[in-house]
Chains A and B, each alone.
Chain A
Amino acid sequence: MSRIDLPSLASAAQDEVARQMSICNACRYCEGLCAVFPAMELRRVFEGPDTDYLANLCHNCGACYYDCQYAPPHEFAVNVPQALAELREESYARYAWPGFMAPVFERNGVWIALAAGLSVALFILGFALWSDPGALTASGNFYAVMPHNAMVAVFAPAFLFPLVAIALSLVRFWRLTGPTPGLTFAALRQATRDAATLRYLDGGGMGCMTQSERPDTWRRRFHHLTFYGFLLCFASTSSGTIMHYVLDWPAPYAWWTPPKLFGVPGGLGLVIGAAGLIWYDRARDGRLRPAKQTGMGAAFTWTLLALGATGLALYWLRETPAMGVLLAVHLGTVFAFFITMPYGKFVHGLYRYAALVRHAYEQKRAHP
């Protein structure tokens, strides 16, 4: 891993956050809204890594923008959600491993869309070329189209590489934001609770204000559906793997087996949640978004929607001749999702979780 002296290279986005935080720190009216402001109050100066930490602690609920007496057109021009969103996207690139992948965050939407389109096309082409043409339109059996061992050979590296890349990125992020002597499981527990409940995506109790100064809870609900839907889908795949290797019980599985019991509600959650987020975000106040559009958020949500939709389609249409093509589209989407995971919006959850752990740790030490 290369060693870069990041603190000495404060970016414009970091400087802007530091500027705004020094105003917020003298005001503190937003203290009760979320974690960002209590974390800010523990600091008097804001170095680059501090700002990256605060940026990833922010859930972009928007409340502090509408509540701010210094928001534009005030000459102090405080717009914390936007400044932190801009820095957040920038920080993903800063901590990405390997470093040469960082530029793909610049025009992330295009990159993810290309990766997904190519993956799907390759799977269709691959199936058409390598499997028995009859199997492609034969219904029911996935492994007739792509043998199980071939699936594992393709997906194991596609899954393992992102895990390594993300883990290394996370370590860089964690180290640069400072040492945490005496970190305990209590901080992890607190952070897990805060993340699982999206505690800070609610404007301090009033609800998000991402469309206007009228708070609502839709964004939080759709996010919950998406996140828990995703976890259920993951549980579905994991249980399938266990059944295959440990129980020696190969697919196809009946509707009452764990892969289906997890997978169907998971897919539904993913589809409704992601579609909801896409619908909701259309009316999002543009002032809360980064001025520089990378398409990162939209690309990620659309990928999740595609994951859920193609998975469900496969479940319902597997007994039809469409199965082979659907399987190719679904596997292509999954493949693209995996390989782009470390270089897109997926990482927001991990950095935010890391920031929540640090926050729980810091608050416990500051206010024992």
Chain B
Amino acid sequence: MSWDVLIAGGGNAALCAAIAAAKDGARVLVAEAAPRAWRGGNTRHTRNCRIAHDEGNGILTGPYPVDEFMDDLMRVTKGRTDEELATLTLEKSKELWDFLEDQGVRFQPSLGGTLSLGRTNAFFLGGGRSMLNALYRTAEDAGVEVRYDTRVAALDIEDGFFKGATLERDWQNGGPEREEVTARAFVAAAGGFEANIDWLKEAWGDAAENFLIRGTPYNTGGVLRQLLDAGVQQVGEPDQCHAVAIDGRAPKFDGGIVTRLDCVPFGIVLNAEAQRFYDEGEDFWPKRYAIWGRLVAAQPEQVGHVLIDAKSINLFMPSVFPPERADTIEELAGKIGLDPAATRATVDAFNAACVPGMFDHAAHDDCRTEGLDPPKSHWARPIDTPPFYAYSLRPGITFTYMGVRVNADARMVMEDGSVSPNLFAAGEIMAGNVLGQGYLAGIGMTIGSVFGRIAGERAAAYVSN
């Protein structure tokens, strides 16, 4: 079969590209590696996208100018971004509300417990899967053909020119059905490689065995590997990713949002040796959420244990798994596999170092430790009121940043610096162009929608010439 545009992937970026290309007249084939019930990669777990806007609109409060967005991006990436592409992303993010609404996506005010994002992030009514359903409906109505259970097994690329691909249908069941397809342009929107533990181990060593993958198990980086092998320039480092500390009992894949834990600032975090290792009260949790994945990844066995007491149990969003609970610290330590005496000693040292203050979880309060290393700067209250609770923490990988380099047309840049005429990329597979490190809530979806749209439009324009 011959198509105008072949798109690998089935999430936000892929669908935005498919819709944009189809509406510009291209015949589009989407190859989604996952079965229909699991379609959409990590988009199914998202809930919002960060968009710049000059004034509030009734759901989004207040303005969020591009300059402020850029400051936020520079702060988290510490300058590791392609400034031209970053500026383009943020400028184009202003159009996303209307663009997505035109595709049937609906928005809602920021969710309970996420008020800090009400100004900057547009929340999808019903979450990311609802948003995806709207995009799929629109794409189908625009004539896009979607094949599920179908992966791009091989790419035929000659000197940076895309000629065709081998698709494998039903590839998860022994003998896949192969099909050679030709297309005049290719959009890679197949996500990162975070679900490929072996690849993660190349960057992280054996520690990666203990990582939990918060999203789809289908992001194994197959398309990314083929593109790099075909001479496309790599962007970003393999160990850079959005990694948070999540509940250690989460499923290996696809645990999504419900496995996050917001209790760290209210307690202390111990490693497997019952020692503290970082300032739990350094800042508000949303600002520190994204560093704890790496912190826990660096600890023995890649595990942490948050200890809190009865004073704090209702101060954070409920989590999906109930905590371990005990009436004494020693009993609690036994339940979570820590040495009771060592745990007791760490808790005692922490309690003794707490300076009396006015506890206020909504402000940088004056409850801190003195003479403790590492210190706890805020919200430090002695852990002395039973029952005591413990949650285990593990690194939860949301998505990886290493990908293919693109230019402002979403065209891939080859190792020799030349630009491919008909290879495009959007979404996680090229997020590293903008996000060299760190993370800003909702920016993954912003990059996906902006570059998906650009890729679809440019591919359609290329095809019609």
Residues of A within 8 A of B (CB): 22-23, 25-33, 38, 41, 44, 63-64, 66-70, 72-76, 203-206, 213-214
* Contact in complex: B128, A29 (CB < 8 Å): yes
Given A22-B318, A27-B258, A29-B128: A75 and B251 interface contact (C-beta under 8 Å): yes
* Contact in complex: B320, A32 (CB < 8 Å): no
User: Known pairs A70-B258, A204-B125. 18 more at Cβ < 8 A?
Assistant: A22-B318, A26-B258, A26-B319, A27-B256, A27-B257, A29-B127, A31-B111, A31-B112, A32-B109, A32-B125, A66-B129, A69-B129, A69-B254, A69-B257, A72-B37, A76-B258, A76-B320, A213-B136
CB-based closest 9 A-B pairs: A29-B127, A32-B108, A67-B126, A67-B130, A26-B258, A26-B320, A213-B133, A69-B44, A28-B111
Which residue of the partner chain A has the closest CB to B260?
A: A26
* Contact in complex: B112, A29 (CB < 8 Å): no
Chain B residues with CB below 8 A from A22, complex form = 318, 320
Residue among B111, B126, B257 with the highest chain A CB neighbour number at 10 A? B126
Partner of B318, one of A25, A63, A68, A69: A25
Which residue of the partner chain A has the closest CB to B131?
A: A67
Partner of B126, one of A23, A26, A30, A72: A30
In the bound complex, what is the Cα–Cα distance between A63 and B108 (angstroms)?
A: 14
Q: How far is the CB of A279 from chain B (nearest CB, A)?
A: 23
* Contact in complex: B317, A30 (CB < 8 Å): no
Which residue of the partner chain B has the closest CB to A68?
A: B129
Could you name 5 residue pairs across A and B whose Cβ atoms are closer than 8 Å? A27-B258, A33-B126, A204-B106, A205-B125, A213-B133
In the bound complex, what is the Cα–Cα distance between A276 and B113 (angstroms)?
A: 41
In the bound complex, what is the Cα–Cα distance between A213 and B320 (angstroms)?
A: 26
Report the tally of A-B residue pairs with Cβ distances under 8 A.
Answer: 89
* Contact in complex: B129, A67 (CB < 8 Å): yes
In the bound complex, what is the Cα–Cα distance between A214 and B138 (angstroms)?
A: 10
Residue among A26, A33, A70, A204 with the highest chain B CB neighbour number at 10 A? A26
* Contact in complex: B257, A26 (CB < 8 Å): yes
* Contact in complex: A214, B258 (CB < 8 Å): no
In the bound complex, what is the Cα–Cα distance between A23 and B372 (angstroms)?
A: 37
Chain A residues with CB below 8 A from B130, complex form = 29, 63, 66-67, 206
Q: Does B405 contact A (CB under 8 A)?
A: no
Chain A residues with CB below 8 A from B319, complex form = 26
Chain A residues with CB below 8 A from B45, complex form = 69
* Contact in complex: A41, B37 (CB < 8 Å): no
Given A67-B133, A204-B126: A31 and B108 interface contact (C-beta under 8 Å): yes
Chain A residues with CB below 8 A from B108, complex form = 31-32, 204
We find that the number of chain B residues with CB closer than 8 angstroms to chain A is 33
In the bound complex, what is the Cα–Cα distance between A205 and B130 (angstroms)?
A: 12
* Contact in complex: A23, B320 (CB < 8 Å): yes
Given A66-B130, A69-B127, A204-B126: A29 and B37 interface contact (C-beta under 8 Å): no
* Contact in complex: B126, A213 (CB < 8 Å): no
Chain A residues with CB below 8 A from B254, complex form = 69, 74
Q: How far is the CB of A156 from chain B (nearest CB, A)?
A: 49
Chain B residues with CB below 8 A from A75, complex form = 251
Chain A residues with CB below 8 A from B123, complex form = 32
* Contact in complex: B129, A214 (CB < 8 Å): no
Contact with A along B139-172 (1 / 0, CB 8 A): 0000000000000000000000000000000000
In the bound complex, what is the Cα–Cα distance between A30 and B256 (angstroms)?
A: 14
Q: Does B47 contact A (CB under 8 A)?
A: yes
Q: Does B287 contact A (CB under 8 A)?
A: no
Chain B residues with CB below 8 A from A214, complex form = 137
In the bound complex, what is the Cα–Cα distance between A336 and B52 (angstroms)?
A: 62
Residues of B within 8 A of A (CB): 37-38, 44-45, 47, 106, 108-109, 111-113, 123-130, 133, 136-137, 251, 254, 256-258, 260, 314, 317-320
Chain B residues with CB below 8 A from A73, complex form = 37-38
In the bound complex, what is the Cα–Cα distance between A203 and B104 (angstroms)?
A: 13
Residue among B127, B137, B317 with the highest chain A CB neighbour number at 10 A? B127
* Contact in complex: A29, B317 (CB < 8 Å): no
Q: How far is the CB of A179 from chain B (nearest CB, A)?
A: 21
In the bound complex, what is the Cα–Cα distance between A355 and B392 (angstroms)?
A: 38
Chain B residues with CB below 8 A from A28, complex form = 111-113
Which residue of the partner chain A has the closest CB to B40?
A: A69
* Contact in complex: A70, B133 (CB < 8 Å): no
In the bound complex, what is the Cα–Cα distance between A27 and B257 (angstroms)?
A: 6
Chain A residues with CB below 8 A from B317, complex form = 26
Q: How far is the CB of A268 from chain B (nearest CB, A)?
A: 34
* Contact in complex: A44, B314 (CB < 8 Å): yes
Which residue of the partner chain A has the closest CB to B37?
A: A73
In the bound complex, what is the Cα–Cα distance between A25 and B322 (angstroms)?
A: 13
Which residue of the partner chain B has the closest CB to A45?
A: B318
Which residue of the partner chain B has the closest CB to A33?
A: B126
In the bound complex, what is the Cα–Cα distance between A30 and B314 (angstroms)?
A: 22
Q: How far is the CB of A66 from chain B (nearest CB, A)?
A: 6
Chain B residues with CB below 8 A from A66, complex form = 129-130, 133
Given A28-B111, A32-B109, A75-B251: A44 and B126 interface contact (C-beta under 8 Å): no
In the bound complex, what is the Cα–Cα distance between A63 and B129 (angstroms)?
A: 11
* Contact in complex: A63, B126 (CB < 8 Å): yes
* Contact in complex: B256, A70 (CB < 8 Å): yes
Chain A residues with CB below 8 A from B113, complex form = 28
Chain B residues with CB below 8 A from A204, complex form = 106, 108, 125-126
Partner of A206, one of B106, B136, B251: B106
Given A67-B133, A206-B106: A26 and B318 interface contact (C-beta under 8 Å): yes
In the bound complex, what is the Cα–Cα distance between A75 and B125 (angstroms)?
A: 23
Chain B residues with CB below 8 A from A23, complex form = 258, 320
Chain A residues with CB below 8 A from B318, complex form = 22, 25-26, 44
Chain B residues with CB below 8 A from A74, complex form = 254
Q: How far is the CB of B259 from chain A (nearest CB, A)?
A: 8
* Contact in complex: A64, B320 (CB < 8 Å): no
Chain A residues with CB below 8 A from B47, complex form = 29
In the bound complex, what is the Cα–Cα distance between A233 and B106 (angstroms)?
A: 38
* Contact in complex: A205, B106 (CB < 8 Å): yes
Q: How far is the CB of A204 from chain B (nearest CB, A)?
A: 5
In the bound complex, what is the Cα–Cα distance between A157 and B309 (angstroms)?
A: 61
Q: How far is the CB of B423 from chain A (nearest CB, A)?
A: 31
Q: How far is the CB of A74 from chain B (nearest CB, A)?
A: 6
In the bound complex, what is the Cα–Cα distance between A26 and B45 (angstroms)?
A: 13
In the bound complex, what is the Cα–Cα distance between A75 and B108 (angstroms)?
A: 27
Partner of B111, one of A29, A67, A70: A29
* Contact in complex: B129, A32 (CB < 8 Å): no
